[in-house]
Amino acid sequence: MLAGVLAGCGSGDSMESFGGPTMGSTYSIKYVRHAGLADAAQVRSEVEGILGEIDRQMSTYRSDSDIERFNDLPADSCQKMPASVFELVRVGEELSVQSEGSYDLTVEPLMNLWGFGPQGREEKIPDPAALAEVMRRVGHQHLRIEGDQLCKDAAVEVDFNSIAAGYAVDTIAARLEALGIHDYLAEVTGELKAKGKKLDGSAWRIALEEPRDDRQVAERVIKVDGYGVSTSGDYRNYFLQGGRRYSHTFDARSGAPVLHDLASVTVINPSALMADGLSTLLLILGPEKAWDYVEKHNIAAFFVIRADTGFVIRTSHAFERLSGAKID
């Protein structure tokens, strides 16, 4: 997704922006600073403190993170966890139930087996016996919360990559609001939330990309005010074998990457965390089941579906009802 160019001027106001690396990707913050508010250095320090804390708690790419220390524990173990981890575990359970087990936070062993995870060695279709062994360590039902501890009755490994960035965006947005900043666009690894107006008084505009791995092409431009926006797709991390595309999006029930024609899903939701999780859930379900799901639950969703002639766009009724959703 691409943010619109910022321009304009205001009496005593200024446009501030900063960014950098995080979570194996990047983040960027743009906001209107009004006179008397925190200076840019303080805002940046606050944001990077949030990102650093989330990385220490939830990263699957550092062995000392809270979640990786938990993942290294054997079956029938417990570990004290921060409240943020419990929040994401509960969201993951909710999404797992709603998808009848297709979405699951415990797919890290599958990701590694297929070559997509932090310990993946080679991108290839795994041996059936190896897959069956790993599937015994997959399933949200093996997790439970006991007081301030996260426990497991099987050697499951939790992967928050489908919701951690959305959680980070919501946390940053809440901190910006607490600092008196009400006109901003916060983006972390592509997940974002925008509120208020740009410096010139115009809306924040977000371009929804065509799912291509060779170049960026905008399919639709939308205005965003007070919503999180998340896109999940199969077009950036995949391998081809036997004429089929195997992406990093897994159905936990089969233990394999999804193979349907839904190329990408964008979800708009007041919560960036829920937008993040729902976009992944819908991508797992596929074009038909995902469509039924968004219409049943009144979800604002933008589908890009592969067809013989190119891509077909399908938007939910909730997406089109959003005020000012469509620009061109």
Interval 133-154: pLDDT, tens: 999 999 999 999 999 999 999 9
Q: Kindly tell me if the per-residue pLDDT of 319 is higher than 70.
A: yes
Per-residue pLDDT, 2: 38
Place of tokens 């960014």: 19
Mean pLDDT computed over every residue of the chain: 88
Count, in order, helices (H) and strands (E) of the chain.
Answer: 9, 18
pLDDT of 201 strictly over 50: yes
Confidence of residue 9 (pLDDT cuts 50, 70, 90): very low
Mean pLDDT of 224-234: 92
Please say whether the beta carbons of 19 and 28 come within 8 A. Answer: yes
Reduced to 3 states (helix: H, G, I; strand: E, B; else coil), residue 312 is strand
Which pLDDT belongs to residue 247?
Answer: 67
Is the pTM value of this prediction over 0.85?
A: yes
Query: What is Dmax (Cα atoms) for the chain?
Result: 67
Predicted local confidence at residue 74, as pLDDT: 97
Check whether 168 has a pLDDT greater than 90.
Answer: yes
188 three-class SS? strand
What mean pLDDT is predicted for residues 6-35?
Answer: 83
DSSP 150-169: EEESS------TTTHHHHHH
Rounded Cα gap, residues 113 and 246, in angstroms: 13
pLDDT of residue 119: 62
pLDDT at 244 over 70: no
* Closest-CA residue to 51 (of 89, 16, 25): 25
pLDDT of 131 > 70? The answer is yes
Query: Which domains does the chain carry?
Result: 11-60+159-192 (no CATH), 69-152 (1.10.3980.10), 203-328 (3.10.520.10)
* The length of the chain, given as a count of residues: 328
Please determine, for residue 322, whether its predicted confidence score (pLDDT) is greater than 90: no
- Quick check: 109 pLDDT over 60? yes
Read off the pLDDT band of 117 (50, 70, 90). Answer: low
Please compute the mean of the pLDDT values over residues 276-283 and round it to a whole number: 96
The pLDDT score that the predictor gives to residue 7 is: 37
